[in-house]
Chain A
Amino acid sequence: MHAAEKKIAVRPQEEKRRTYIAALIIFVLFLVSTISTEYQPFELFANMENFWDFLFQDLLPPRLTDPQMIVEGVVQTVSMAIVATLLAAILSMILAVLGAEATCPWKPLRKLVRLIASIQRNIPNMIWIFILIMAFGIGNVVGMLALLIQSTGFMTRAFIETLDEIGGESLEAMHAVGATRFAIITQALIPACLSGVISWMLYGLEINIRSSSLVGAVGGGGIGLVMMGYIKQFRYHSAMGTILLIAAIVILVDMLTNFLRKKVLA
């Protein structure tokens, strides 16, 4: 092998250069972020003792005090998620029919529906809560509406996609048979979309259960508010108990939705 000879590139030069640039950008971002936030993970490891103390003395064992308040909180949170999912499903079905190419012949309306859905989806939940609190004050109305807005956003989009996917071919066939638009929508499209709709509803329920405890914490009521209260009162054992309860609820609901998916959609 001659040293003077040019090295053979395993990957094309351009691709290599791009990888280097990407790596460099990531490194710079990392560096700048670390400096600006003064984040030192290793210092944290040095202070692990504090952490263990906190974990085993302040947090563990978890405790569930005030059973009545907690039960009420759980019921609130779960109800909030279910109601939001149900209303969102109904609302998005209507919006989707107005927004899908297969069902709505009027283009400006389709654009408008898609725009609304995209706004609902892309503005973080938290911002919706702030805005809603301005109008409604604190309470479960705000929590429910915040969940409703976000899940309507993504469900509308998902339903539109389902409708268009199924719509394309069967619509043509139905037109050829001579069916009216209304008959097509109710007889062919919606029944065919139902299983897709249900799977998105189950997904929405999972998301809403997760968010509803959070939404509660910042002013929507429910178990989240109870937990927040414990933390503010420095009652960490009780807070930990509530947190584990939230985790248990989330896992249970996930298991339930998985079960339903297998049962209903099989």
Chain B
Amino acid sequence: MEGIVVGGNRQNIFGPEPEEKQSSPVLLHRDGKIRTADPAKSRGIKIFLILFLIVGCGAMYTMNLDWAQLAGGISQIPAAIANLCEIDFYQFDVTFSALFESIAVSILATIYSLILGMFLAVFMARNITPFRWLPPILSAFFTFLRAIPSTIWVLLILVCVGFGPTAGIIGMSISSMAFFAKSMCQCFEEVSNDTIEALKAMGAGKIKIFFRAILPSAFTSLLAWTSINFESNFESSIILGTVGGGGIGYVVSNCMGRYSYGQAMVAILLMLAFTYIMEIGFTVFKERKK
């Protein structure tokens, strides 16, 4: 509530207020009209919005958007949708096993990165790390790992170990690990220092405190982070297919390349169904855990 104190009749129990605060309780426009909002508060927001608009227009110009393509494409959309709607169950078994491979890749990437990330988070959380100098270094390192999209990691690993699911798993594990390390570290640091002090005062060492107090406290958030990570891994496993990592993404891009849109649509629908089921599953699981 942006109420303005107009009168000064309220007695201040802590003694007189400083002079400056009382001098001008009502803010005026330059022409003498009374302002209804404190300009200092909204000025930043206004400037930001105007700047963003200008930068956006500039970006639109430099991007050199192909308007003809845009206009031409829009008329193509109904035809594209019609193409997709001709559902074709040709090679359904291949599609299905590809989906299975994508799921397997995401599961493995999630599990390995969870273990690794949690292990590293122990060294990264400022309240439990054995080495004081380590957290900033690790934090910077993970920021770097996360700044590169997981697909690029997959591409690099692909070059190194060759085509196949292994590259996908390792590549995805790299960014997932950074994700887990950062989020778990945050969870660990949220555990109150008082609780840690209490256990320390009972003669428990760091390892005992970690397993009996910090880890259980972080457990619920751990579930949430895992579900988020698994979902995003599954999504990257789709992208991965298009660059040669196999799985359902490969089926989709391959079908698109062969103009068999109906088959691609089946793959897409399968994928969406799985995402949907997974989401429901995690929600139910979370509810029950409560």
| B100 on the A face (CB < 8 A) | yes
| B136 on the A face (CB < 8 A) | no
| Nearest CB of chain B from residue A99's CB, rounded to whole Å | 20
CA distance A188 to B240 in the complex (A): 46
| B48 on the A face (CB < 8 A) | yes
| A114 on the B face (CB < 8 A) | no
| B118 on the A face (CB < 8 A) | no
| A158 on the B face (CB < 8 A) | no
| B130 on the A face (CB < 8 A) | no
The residues of A that contact B74 with a CB separation of less than 8 Å are 135
| B235 on the A face (CB < 8 A) | yes
- Tell me how many residues of A have a C-beta within 8 Å of chain B: 74
**Interface majority SS (helix, strand, loop, mixed), chain A:** helix
Cβ of B160 and Cβ of A127 under 8 Å apart? Answer: no
* Most A C-beta atoms less than 10 A away, residue of B74, B80, B152, B243: B152
B interface residue count range (under 10 / 10 to 19 / 20 to 34 / 35 or more): 35 or more
| A59 on the B face (CB < 8 A) | yes
Binary interface profile of B, 86-127, with partner A (CB < 8 Å = 1, else 0)? 000000000000001101110110011000000000000000
CA distance A265 to B42 in the complex (A): 9
Cβ of B152 and Cβ of A243 under 8 Å apart? Answer: yes
Q: Which of A213, A217, A264 contacts B45 (CB 8 A)?
A: A264
Cβ of A139 and Cβ of B69 under 8 Å apart? Answer: yes
| B83 on the A face (CB < 8 A) | yes
Cβ of A139 and Cβ of B66 under 8 Å apart? Answer: yes
| A50 on the B face (CB < 8 A) | yes
Binary interface profile of B, 141-172, with partner A (CB < 8 Å = 1, else 0)? 00110011101100110011100011001100
| B84 on the A face (CB < 8 A) | yes
Cβ of A214 and Cβ of B151 under 8 Å apart? Answer: yes
The residues of B that contact A26 with a CB separation of less than 8 Å are 111
Q: Which of A28-36, A102-110, A160-168, A176-184 sits within the interface?
A: A28-36
| A20 on the B face (CB < 8 A) | no
| Nearest CB of chain B from residue A134's CB, rounded to whole Å | 4
Cβ of A32 and Cβ of B104 under 8 Å apart? Answer: yes
Cβ of A214 and Cβ of B111 under 8 Å apart? Answer: no
| B39 on the A face (CB < 8 A) | no
The residues of B that contact A85 with a CB separation of less than 8 Å are 56
Question: Which B18-45 residues have C-beta < 8 A from chain A?
Answer: 37, 42, 44-45
The residues of B that contact A39 with a CB separation of less than 8 Å are 108, 165-166, 169
| A41 on the B face (CB < 8 A) | yes
CA distance A93 to B278 in the complex (A): 30
The residues of B that contact A70 with a CB separation of less than 8 Å are none
The residues of B that contact A189 with a CB separation of less than 8 Å are none
CA distance A83 to B62 in the complex (A): 10
Cβ of B253 and Cβ of A30 under 8 Å apart? Answer: no
| Nearest CB of chain A from residue B96's CB, rounded to whole Å | 13
Q: Nearest 6 A-B pairs (CB), nearest first?
A: A136-B73, A86-B56, A33-B104, A79-B59, A79-B63, A250-B147
